[in-house]
Amino acid sequence: MTAKIQTKAARSPAKRDGKTAGKTAARKPLKSGYINARVEPKLKKSAEAVLDKLGLSTTDAVTMFLKQVVAHKGMPFPVKIPNKETIRALRDAERGRVTRFSGTTEEFFAHLDKTTR
């Protein structure tokens, strides 16, 4: 992860008749707020790999997320409490208790049709 340092824009000292020559460009506020978050190392590494492919740093991604929270006045995606069936499925998956299917998409849906009847 690379750190980016942002410095104050240089001001033009040149003056004509007591007035500053040229207009000063709009300045971005300096980044000085810090967020410390503890996450699982594996999650951090995986996320950084994805963000790197997108050309983003973790700081860029967190900033984008926070801007979306502000724009949406809440979470920028739906957050729901999972029902009992979903919780059970997540626990089964974490424990490796999953059914694997090898075949085409059409075969998979045909298999689902047979098992749900």
Maximum C-alpha span of the chain? 88
Residue 16 above 60 pLDDT?
Answer: no
Residues constituting the chain: 117
DSSP label at 76? S
Lowest average pLDDT, out of 6-15, 33-42, 87-96, goes to 6-15
Residue given tokens 């749900």 in the structure block: 116
- Judge whether residue 88 has pLDDT over 80: yes
More confident residue, 28 or 80: 80
Q: Is the pTM of this model over 0.75?
A: no
**pLDDT tops 60 at residue 47:** yes
Domains and CATH numbers, the chain: 35-78 (1.10.1220.10), 80-117 (no CATH)
Mean pLDDT across the stretch 66-85?
A: 94
Which sign does the torsion angle of CA 40, 42, 45, 46 carry? Answer: negative
Average per-residue pLDDT for the chain? 82
Residue 76: other Cβ atoms inside 10 A = 15
| 20: enclosing H helix or E strand | strand 19-20
How confident is the model at residue 23, as a pLDDT?
56
